[in-house]
Structure 1
Amino acid sequence: MQKKLLYICFFLSLGLTAQIKVSGFVVDESDEPVPFANIIFKGSTEGTISDENGKFYLETSNFYKELEVSFVGFETKLIPLEKVNANLRIVLQEGRDELREVMIYSGRIKKKNNPAIDILKKIWAQKRRNGLNMYDRYEFDRYEKIEFDLNNIDEKLMERKVFEGMEMVFDQIDTSKITGKVFLPIFINESVYKTYGKNIYPRKKNSIMKANKNSGYSDNQALISFLKQLYVDFDIYDNYLLFFDKKFSSPLSKLGPEVYNYVLTDSSFIDNKWCYNILFYPRRKNELTFKGDFWVSDTTYAIKEIQMYATKNANVNWVKDIYIEQEYEVLNDSVFLLTRDYIMTDFALNQNDKSKGVYGKRTTLYDNHIFNVNRPDEYYKEQIQDNEAMYNQSDEFWEENRQEELSKNEIGIYQMLDTLQNVKRFQQINTIGEILASGYWNFAQGWDFGPVFSTVGYNDIEGLRLKAGGRTYFSQNDKSRVKGYLAYGFMDAKLKYGVEAKHLFKGRDRWILSVGTRKDIEQLGVSLTTSNEVLERSFATTSIFTRGDNSKLSNINLSNVKVSVEPVKNLDLRIGTTYKTLESSNPDLFNVDYYDENGEIQSRIEQVDLSFAVQYTPNRKAYGFGAERSVSNQGRYPTFFFSYTRGLKGVFNSNFDYHKLQFYYEQPYQLGLFGKLRSTFEIGKTFNPVPLQLLNIVPGNQTFFTSRTLFDLLDYYEFVTDEYVSLHVEHNFNGKIFAKIPWIRDLQWREIIGIRGVVGGISQENRDINASDIIYRAPENIYWEYHFGIGNIFKLLRVDFEYRGSYRDLPDATKFAVKVGFGFYF
Structure 2
Amino acid sequence: MNRRFSLFLLLSFCLNLVHAQTKVGGRVIDNSGKTVPFANVIFENSSSGTTTNEIGEFYLQSDNDYEAIVVSFLGYKTQRVPLESSVNLDLEIILEEEASSLDEVFVYRGKTSKKNNPAIDILKKVWANRRKNGVKAFKQYSYKEYEKLEFDLNTIDSAVINNRIFNGMEFIFNYADTNNVTGKTYLPVFINESVSRIYGDNELGRNKEVLIGNKNSGFSQNRNLIDAVKDIYDDYDIYKTYIKFFDKSFVNPISTTGIDTYNYILSDSAYVDNKWCYNIIYYPRRENELTFRGNFWVNDTTWAVKHINLESSRDANINWVKQVYIEQDYEVLNDSIFLITRDFFMADFGLTKKKGSRGVYAKRTMLFDEYEFNKEKPESFYQQQVYDPRPQVYDRSEEFWEANRLEELNKDEQGIYVMLDSLTKTRAFKRIYDIATIAESGYVEFDGWDYGPVYSTFGFNDVEGMRVRFGGRTYFGQNDPWRIEGYGAYGFKDDKFKYGISGKVLIDPKSRLIISGGNRRDVEQLGTSLTNSTDVLGRSLASSSLINVGDNDKLSSINLSTFSISMEPVKNLTFRVGANYREISPASPGFSLDYYVDEERTVTDTEINQTELSTILTFTPGRKVSGYGVEPNVVNEEDFPTFFLNYSLGVKDVFNSDFNYKKLQFFYNQPLLIGGLGRSNLSIESGKTFDPVPLGLLSVVPGNQTYFGIYNTFPTLDYYEFVTDSYVSAHFHHNFNGRFFSRIPLLRELNLRELVGISAVWGDISEESKKLDASGIQLRAPDSDPYYEYYFGIGNILKILQIEAHFRGNYFQNPDARSFAIIADFGFHF
TM range (shorter): over 0.9
In structure 2, what residue type is equivalent to 1:705?
F
- Once structures 1 and 2 are overlaid, which stretch shifts more, 681-690 or 8-17? 8-17
Equivalent residue number for residue 805 of structure 2: 801
Residue 514 of structure 1 deviates from its aligned partner by 1.3
> Aligned residue for 1:440?
443
Equivalent of 1:538, from 537, 540, 544? Answer: 540
Shift, 1:367, TM fit: 2.4
Q: How far is the alpha carbon of 1:552 from its aligned partner?
A: 1.3
The aligned runs of 1:376-415 (5 Å cut-off) are: 376-390=378-392, 392-396=394-398, 397-415=400-418
Output the CA distance in 1 between the equivalents of 2:225 and 2:384: 24
In the alignment, is residue 420 of structure 1 matched against residue 409 of structure 2?
Answer: no
Pairs within 5 Å for 1:190-589:
190-200=193-203, 202-329=204-331, 334-390=336-392, 392-396=394-398, 397-443=400-446, 445-586=447-588, 588-589=589-590
8 Å contact from structure 2 (residues 523, 542) kept in 1: no
Deviation digits for residues 389-419 of structure 1 (CA, Å, limit 9, x no counterpart): 1564133344443333333333433333333
User: Higher mean Cα deviation, 16-25 or 797-806?
Assistant: 16-25
Letter matched to residue 47 of structure 1 = G
Q: 1:136 aligns with which of 127, 134, 139?
A: 139
Shift of 1:182: 0.8
> Residue type of the partner of 2:253?
P
1:821 maps to 825
SS at match of 1:109: coil
Shift of 1:115: 3.6
Closer, same or farther: CA 305–104 of 1 in aligned 2, 3 Å: closer
Secondary structure of 1:340's aligned partner: strand
CA distance in 2 between partners of 1:36 and 1:9 (Å): 27
Q: Which of these residues, 765, 772, 777, is aligned with residue 769 of structure 1?
A: 772
Amino acid at match of 2:647: Y
What amino acid does structure 1 have at the position aligned with 2:612? D
Q: Please say if residues 686 and 722 of structure 1, whose CA atoms lie closer than 8 Å, have aligned partners that are also in contact.
A: yes
Equivalences for residues 655-694 of structure 1 within 5 A: 655-694=658-697
Residues of 1 paired with 2:17 and 2:111: CA distance? Answer: 39
Q: Which residue of the partner structure matches residue 3 of structure 2?
A: none
- Find out whether 1:735 has 2:738 as its counterpart: yes
State which drifts further: 769-778 or 223-232.
223-232
Q: Cα deviations across residues 508-536 of structure 1 (Å, max 9, x unaligned)?
A: 32221212222222211111112212221
TM-score (norm 1): 0.94
User: What residue identity is the alignment partner of 2:716?
Assistant: L
Q: How does 1:609-758 map to 2 (within 5 A)?
A: 609-758=612-761
Residues 81, 194 of structure 1: CA spacing in aligned structure 2 closer, same or farther, 3 A cutoff?
Answer: same
CA–CA distance in structure 2, aligned partners of residues 257 and 189 of structure 1: 38
C-alpha deviations, 1:274-320, integer Å up to 9, x for none?
33322222122111111111223344433322112111111111111
In the TM superposition, residue 93 of structure 1 has moved relative to its aligned partner by 4.0
CA distance in 1 between partners of 2:216 and 2:551 (Å)? 50
C-alpha displacement at 1:699, in angstroms? 0.8
Distance 1:109 1:488 in 2: 67
| Residue equivalent to 1:787 | 791
Alpha-carbon contact 1:803-1:815 (below 8 Å) kept: yes
| 1:448 Cα deviation after fit | 1.0
Residues 74 and 99, structure 1, Cα contact 8 Å, conserved in 2: no
Shift of 1:332: 5.9
Conserved? CA contact 1:752–1:791, under 8 Å: yes
Structure 2 residues without counterparts, runs of 5 or longer: 1-7
List alignment gaps of at least 5 residues for structure 1: 1-5
**Structure 2 counterpart SS, 1:668:** strand
Contact 2:140 2:376 in 1 (8 A): yes
Which residue in 1 is equivalent to 2:174?
171
Contact 1:205 1:382 in 2 (8 A): no
Give the superposed CA RMSD: 2.4
| Contact 1:73–1:100 (8 Å) recurs in 2 | no
Alignment of 1:811 onto 2:812: no
Distance, in Å, in 1 between the alignment partners of 2:396 and 2:809 is 64
Partner residue in 2 for 1:3:
none
Checking the alignment, whether the CA contact within 8 Å between 1:220 and 1:434 is kept in structure 2 is: no
* Aligned partners of 1:341 and 1:365 also within 8 Å: yes
> What is the rounded CA distance, in whole Å, between the counterparts of 1:41 and 1:8 in structure 2?
20
Distance in structure 1 (CA, Å) of the matches to 2:44 and 2:281: 16
* AA at the equivalent of 2:379: D
Which amino acid counterpart does residue 610 of structure 2 have in structure 1? Q
Q: In terms of mean alpha carbon deviation, does 155-164 or 33-42 score higher?
A: 33-42
Whole-angstrom CA distance in 2 between matches of 1:705 and 1:639: 24
Tell me the CA shift for residue 719 of structure 1. Answer: 1.1
Partners of 1:97 and 1:617 lie apart in 2 by: 65
Supply the distance in 2 between the matched residues of 1:644 and 1:463 (Cα, whole angstroms).
Answer: 37
Q: Distance in 2 between matches of 1:81 and 1:332?
A: 41
Task: State the 1:388 CA deviation.
Answer: 4.5
* Change beyond 3 A, Cα 1:82–1:569: farther
SS at match of 1:36: coil
Matching residue's letter, 2:791: H
Residue 291 to residue 87, structure 1, CA distance change in 2 (3 Å): same
Report how far residue 102 of structure 1 moved: 6.7
The TM-score, its normalising length taken from structure 2, stands at 0.93
Shift of 1:163: 0.9
Q: State the secondary structure of the residue aligned to 1:108.
A: coil
Q: Is the 8 A contact 1:470 1:483 kept in 2?
A: yes
> Which range moves more in the overlay, 723-732 or 204-213?
204-213
The answer to which of 511-520 and 222-231 deviates more is 222-231
Distance (whole Å) between structure 1 residues aligned to residue 581 and residue 379 of structure 2 = 43
Cα distance between partner residues in 2 of 1:796 and 1:97: 55
> What is the CA distance between 1:183 and its match in structure 2?
0.7
Match of 2:591 in 1: 590
Q: Residues 824, 8 of structure 1: CA spacing in aligned structure 2 closer, same or farther, 3 A cutoff? A: closer
Aligned to 2:127: 124
Matched residue type, 1:404: E
Secondary structure in 1 matching 2:135: helix
After superposition, give the CA deviation of every residue in 1:781-813 in whole Å (9 maximum; x if it has no partner): 222222221111111111222222222343322
Q: Distance in 1 between the 2:805 and 2:156 partners? A: 44
CA offset digits 1:436-457 (Å, max 9, x no partner) = 22222112x2111112211211
**Contact in 2 for aligned 1:103/1:109 (Cα 8 Å):** no
Contact 1:20–1:82 (8 Å) recurs in 2: no
Give the AA of the match of 2:22: I
Instruction: Give distance in 1, aligned partners of 2:480 and 2:811.
Output: 51
- Report the Cα distance in structure 2 between the residues aligned to 1:9 and 1:98, rounded to whole angstroms: 43
1:733 alignment partner AA:
F
The Cα of 1:48 is off from its aligned counterpart by 1.4
Corresponding pairs, count: 818
Q: 1:695 Cα shift? A: 0.9
Distance 1:414 1:777, change over 3 A: same
Note if 1:88 corresponds to 2:111: no
- Bigger mean CA offset, 771-780 vs 802-811: 802-811
Secondary structure at the aligned position of 1:739 is classed as helix
- Could you tell me how far apart the structure 2 residues matched to 1:591 and 1:9 are? 72
> 1:204 Cα shift?
1.6
CA contact (8 A) 1:540 1:703 kept: no
Letter in 1 for 2:692: P
> Greater shift after overlay, 781-790 or 41-50?
41-50
Separation (CA, whole Å) in 1 of partners of 2:771 and 2:100: 89
Partner of 1:40: 42
Structure 2 SS opposite 1:651: coil
